[in-house]
Amino acid sequence: MNFVTWFQNTAVKEVREDAEGKVMVVGVPTTFAYDWVAGKYKIKVLQAAKEIDDKIVDVEFEVMSSLMDKKDGTAADLSKISSKPEKKVRKVRNKQEVHLGDGVKSKMLNARYTLDSFVIGSENRLPHAASSAVVNMPGGIYNPMYIYGGVGLGKTHMLQAIGNAILHDDSSKVVRYLTTERFVSEVVECIRNGKMGKFKNYYRNVDVLLIDDVQFFFKKKSSQEEFFHTFNELYEANKQIVLTSDRPPSELEDLDKRLTSRFVTGMVTELVMPEYETRVAILQAKAQDSGMILDPEVLEFVAANVTSSVRELEAVLRQVIGEAQLEERVPTIKSAVEVFKKLYRANEIIGYDIDKRQRGTEALTSKDVMEVVATYYRVTIDDLVGEVRKKEVMVPRQVCMYIIKHELDESYEKIGADFGGRMHTTVMNACNKVLQKIKKDSRLVRDINAIKREMGL
């Protein structure tokens, strides 16, 4: 649920008295959660707070990275919240099937695909609403439902999400999902083995039939014929049918007209590439799922440059995060650009002057980094290279060493020499401390990225 996604690990920090009344301060674990919750849910949170205490007149949100720590007992654990009991999944011999609940069979459904995890923008609000209506009334006015759109836009996600939601709401329903290619191969196999009776019984005794990529019925006459009769029998029995394709029914020129005419009798809806703002929201949700804190500018950069499919959007983000985890560093725009350079021509990248950034990186020295860090933290270079061990100097010193190591690729020995002749193990420990902190401390991530931007990194 979206509620669980954004309010997991939140906490009421305090309720303070103000001149006009009480103000409730809510702690959120990350900057992503702050941006989303404060922007989308403030009014609802305030309404809920007023039901408990009508003297509360305002709600404020504050990033508290400590809430990500499982040992912190103040954070709310909403992971077990569900409107219905969770159903256990048990694999059986046929790997294409799972049992959900009391003997309910489902074909190849992926539990990760839910309607709640489908990030909705204005451009795809209709297909999401239609899918929700199908879940609420299977076999109703939106039967059949036909979803079409380009590659990687979420058709399979939405198709399987419908099946998962129907099973969640009614464990007595029998839902079967399969691709058109599998349907065709099963028809061929059953014809060859003389088992068409078994095939008919298997597919015509379901409550919900979900078929992916119906365009692949092209030139499969026997399969089209069998699907036509299956479709008719289920439709007449008010059983729900949901289909996906890469094109609208009117463009399925090589399919039997009897089929395409039936595809348009219910709801036909198109999935399109999300607009920029929705792409950013998708990346925010995926980044939060990964457990890694990313600078919003990195997500905005990826969203601006991936405009072909949601699948590609998520793939680029996974690669950016994966490389950062392997190299034990926080993802930056620079690292995102390196991913893009592997996948696209450099001159196609939007919003990033590669040549300028590369020239700036090549010209930087350890002293340049020290000057920027010292200015940012309002300390002196003498403080950074000296022996002062106060927190207000220790943190900038560790950050400075980390940036020099990971951005300029200096050796631990060279960095130690630049910092007053420190041992290389001291520098290594400082860098490791920063690596550990940035996994939980969103403020430190913002500081490091701000310093890097100042230096053109």
The secondary structure of residue 383, as a DSSP letter, is H
Exposure string of 217-227, with b = 16+ CB inside 10 Å and e = fewer, is beebeebbebb
**pLDDT band with cut points at 50, 70 and 90 for residue 344:** low
Quote the pTM value.
Answer: 0.56
Is residue 292 within 8 Å of residue 30, measured between CB atoms?
A: no
Tens digits of residue pLDDT in 297-338:
888 888 888 877 888 888 888 888 888 777 777 777 777 888
CATH no. of 276-352:
1.10.8.60
Q: State how far the alpha carbon of 249 is from the alpha carbons of 145, 221, 240, in Å.
A: 12, 17, 18
Is residue 153 within 8 Å of residue 118, measured between CB atoms?
A: no
How are the residues of the chain apportioned to helix, strand and coil, as percentages rounded to the nearest 5? 55, 10, 35
Report pLDDT for 415. Answer: 92
Q: Which CATH superfamily is domain 89-270 in?
A: P-loop containing nucleotide triphosphate hydrolases (3.40.50.300)
The domain ranges of the chain are: 2-68, 89-270, 276-352, 362-454
Is residue 285 within 8 Å of residue 141, measured between CB atoms?
A: no
- Asked whether the bond before 296 is cis by omega within 30 degrees of 0, the reply is no
Q: How far apart are CA 397 and CA 124, in angstroms?
A: 48
Q: Which residue has the higher pLDDT, 454 or 286?
A: 286
**β strands within 64-166, DSSP E:** 89-91, 97-100, 104-107, 145-148
Classify 2-68 by CATH class: alpha beta
Amino acid at site 52: I
Tens digits of residue pLDDT in 84-122:
444 444 333 333 344 444 454 544 788 888 888 888 887
Conformational region of residue 153, where left means phi above 0, alpha means psi within -120 to 50, and beta covers everything else: alpha
CATH second-level architecture of 362-454?
Orthogonal Bundle (1.10)
Is residue 155 within 8 Å of residue 271, measured between CB atoms?
A: yes
Dihedrals phi, psi of 195, to nearest 5 degrees: -120, 30
